[in-house]
Amino acid sequence: MKVYLLGAGPGDPGLLTLKARDVLARADVVVYDALANDSLLGHARPDAEIIYVGKVAGNHALPQHEINALLVAKAKEGKVVARLKGGDPYIFGRGGEEAEELLAAGVPFEEVPGISSTIAAPAYAGIPVTHRDFASSVTIITGHENPDKPGSVHNWQALAQSASTLVFVMGMKNLPDIARNLLTAGLAPDTPAALIYRGTTARHRSLVSTIAQLPEAAVAAGFTNPSVIVVGKVASLRDKLNWYEQKPLLGRSIVVTRAREQASGLAQSLTELGAEVIQCPTIEIRPLPDYAELDAAIARLADYGWIIFTSVNGVKYFWQRLAALGRDSRAIGACRVAAIGPATADALRERGICPDFIPERYVAEGVVEGLKAREAGRLAGMRMLLPRAAKAREVLPEELGKAGAVVDVISAYETVPAASRKDEVVARLAEGSLDCVTFGSSSTVENFLELVPAASLKAHPTTLLAAIGPVTADTLRKHGLEPHIQPEAYTIPALVEAIKAHFAKA
């Protein structure tokens, strides 16, 4: 048994430490709070017990003493427990209290530091909390004091007269009192001061003012918790060094409907451009219960003139069966190999196979046209193997069959509907806070519209629809929905660039 107190970082999931990631990957139980980016739960084992104990102002899912008891109880069941806390557990995270409870109960523990919002949020806003020309120290202060109590735990005069950068957390409610106390203690009214809301996340925004004017500026700009307050000359660097707020998709909320196994490239690219990515996979990729038919086809690969792969998943599961049969890429032998597009081609190259053919248009029709041209006069009777999803468009085998080829369509995997984060997507759509929904295939369109009716999308025209290619776009139109964004090349990188270009014009 053991409990790990993990710092989840300030919000950007990329700021999780490698050690914290590794602990999550082996934990039996993950206990997480409201400030930990829930995408980090993807690092947990699929069979791990996930428990939410989030606390936000005025709403505690579980009181602190019950959290302490939960950690002890789970550990004493002989389990490895990962306690995932926003920022760093020991910087206003009550991690020290949890550690003391564990120690008293005889439960071994480790603290894995996380990157604190007190330094990360200013950094993303272009504010170094120390700088040789402005401040050689930084003071981290809770802003959660009760302004009505007779005394203060803070020495306001010492804070005001120091040359230290002052960083207040959990202080938005008390911002007028913080400013007044500092000014009363002698801080110059024109001292630069900044606010950073949800620093390092896709909802990050900041402003710079003076300490005297900051409370009024906060109200005018609608700043609330969670915001970090920075007071000191370093705040004047924000306008010069503010790199994060230059990201082209910052503040945009984009839904990715691809299966989780396929979504990582699209989600990562959008995240790197600053978008808030909501992964709502509408399909789940699963292996088949029986591979007898595919195994039989692999045993007679020498009979085929072409193997045609129409997806990365087709490549993945075909090679899994090769391995299960004790074979590898050499089994392809003299067969020529076609890939429907660049991503599928890359998946083949990773396995040592350079595709013999990639169409100019990355759709089934493009494969048919290209193979007809390459095999003019030779298609009659030629056997082709098409390992693909259990359900897919029939254009490719039907058209090649009309040209005389014998196409063995064999299932390599299946797709089933999924509904992860449906409620969140529906709620965000209703409140008008979804900027875009992306579709990477016709099946994602069909399955998404099973979760969210087309009428709901029509009722919120500010939510844009992005289709990866013409087939997917036509499926949207079939449901009375017009795609707003469609790249010229039918690839994920092209889709990302098209989304970026569209919002750049907005």
Scored b (16 or more CB within 10 A) or e, 293-312 reads: ebeebbeebeebbbbbbbbb
* String of DSSP letters for 126-160: T--S-BTTTBS-EEEEE----TTSSS-SS-HHHHH
User: Which residue is it, tokens 């005069």?
Assistant: 157
CB atoms within 10 A of CB 2: 17
User: Tokens in use for 26?
Assistant: 């082996």
CB atoms within 10 A of CB 170: 18
Q: How far is CA 327 from the centre of its chain?
A: 36
How far is the CA of 163 from the CAs of 16, 159, 160, 191, in angstroms? 31, 8, 8, 11
Cα(first)–Cα(last) distance of the chain, in Å?
54
Burial grade of 292 (CB within 10 A; 0-12, 13-18, 19 or more): exposed
Amino acid at 270: L
Contacts of 327 (CB under 8 A, 6+ apart): 298
CA atoms of 214 and 181, how far apart (whole Å) = 13
CB atoms within 10 A of CB 435: 21
Total residues belonging to the chain? 506
Contacts of 391 (CB under 8 A, 6+ apart): 414, 415, 443
Contacts of 96 (CB under 8 A, 6+ apart): 89, 90
Scored b (16 or more CB within 10 A) or e, 35-48 reads: bbbeebeebbeeeb
- Give the pairing of strands 406-417 and 283-286: antiparallel
Beta strands in 368-459 (DSSP E): 383-389, 406-417, 436-439
Catalytic center residues: 33, 55, 170
Scored b (16 or more CB within 10 A) or e, 85-104 reads: bbbbbbbbbbbeebbebbee
Amino acid at 40: L
